[in-house]
Structure 1
Amino acid sequence: MWIGMVLAISFVEAPLKFRAPGVTLRIGLGIGRLVFRALNVFEYVFAVVISVALFTHETPTSLNVALCVAVGALLTQTIAVRPLLSRRTTAVLEGDESRRSKAHVTYVALEVVKVAALVCTGVVLVD
């Protein structure tokens, strides 16, 4: 479920919402702020539940490493990168559309890392 939500929101909904008729940059950013805040809450719930389930049982090191990478990417996104994106979003919503945010590229790169780690987690679990 975790990987499905990340793929659906980060790689489908987020870019497509800006192509919808009538959705301006300001509206899209406002929607994105709400959607990603909700996604991150669900991600933390998934991370805690999965971590408790896996780390209270004997599991392969590869599984533990993959899950730690996914959780680490989530933590980095929400603690280090999202505040930068939030400041940029606030500036844009207040009318400052002069510069692009490099933090966005970092956030997307961490999404790719997280998805890869979750795929690895799933593969090891199926094995």
Structure 2
Amino acid sequence: MKTWLYLPLLLLGFILPGCTKKTTEIVIPNQTILYEITPDAWGYDSNGGFYYYNIKVPELNGVNQTDGVIVSMARYGASGQTPQTYELLPQVYNNQSYFIVHDDANLEVDIKGINGAASVKPATKVRVKIVLIPSVN
């Protein structure tokens, strides 16, 4: 009688390990765009009182709201040879606010003084790194 009670458990022990879950991973690589801005290339908006630089990025045409756009900026030291620090934008540094806006073709980097400080453009070149991260729904 007890043998019949253990028989269903024994059968389940053989059946359950046979079930496996399959997962499919889709890996879509991100896209990185590097751009260098020289000190003399910054424009000045006298109405808003800030410096700006427009970068044409046609790759933004395929970006939608579920995708990620990450922008970081590298500062160069006085030698101007190698980047000293990398910062994710938006960022505040030396009473200057660095921020970005973009549409489907351009990315604009703006520099504006905070707390009433005057806008000051960088004295050395800066490297802008744009990373486009696609998202699959």
TM-score by length of 1: 0.26
TM-score of the aligned structures, taking structure 2 as reference length: 0.25
Determine which structure has the larger helix proportion and give its number.
Answer: 1
Give the structure with the larger strand fraction. Answer: 2
